Structure 1
Amino acid sequence: MDSPAGDPVDARIVGILRFNGRISWKELADRVHLAPSSVADRVRRLEERGVITGYSARIDPAAVGRTVRAVVDVSLVPGDEADAFEARLVERDEIIMASYVTGSADYTIVAECAGAEGLDAFVRWVRADEAVARTETKLMLRSVIG
Structure 2
Amino acid sequence: MFNEIDLKILNILQENARTSNADLARAVDLAPSAVLERVRKLERRGVITGYAAHLSPPAVGLSLTAFTFVRVEEAVGATDTGRLLADLPGVLEVHYTAGAAAYLVKVRVADTAALAGLLREMGRIESVRDTNTTIVLETVKETAALPLNHHS
When structure 1 is superposed on structure 2, of 31-40 and 110-119 the one drifting more is 31-40
Unaligned runs of 5+ in 2: 143-152
| 1:71 alignment counterpart | 67
- Does the 8 Å contact 1:74/1:132 carry over to 2? yes
| 1:136 alignment counterpart | 132
Report the Cα offset of residue 81 of structure 1: 9.1
Q: Distance in 2 between matches of 1:142 and 1:79?
A: 36
- Does the 8 Å contact 1:66/1:112 carry over to 2? yes
Distance 1:33 1:141, change over 3 A: farther
Superposed CA RMSD in Å reads: 1.9
Unaligned runs of 5+ in 1: none
Query: Do residues 100 (structure 1) and 64 (structure 2) align?
Result: no
**Percent sequence identity over matched residues?**
35
Query: Do residues 59 (structure 1) and 47 (structure 2) align?
Result: no
Q: Equivalent of 1:44, from 28, 40, 53?
A: 40
Q: Equivalent of 2:112, from 116, 122, 130?
A: 116
Q: Aligned pairs, how many?
A: 142
Q: Distance in 2 between matches of 1:10 and 1:115?
A: 42
Query: Do residues 127 (structure 1) and 123 (structure 2) align?
Result: yes
Measured against aligned partners, the alpha-carbon deviations of 1:91-127 in whole angstroms (never above 9, x if no partner) come to: 2230111111112211011000011111111112112
Report the Cα offset of residue 78 of structure 1: 4.7
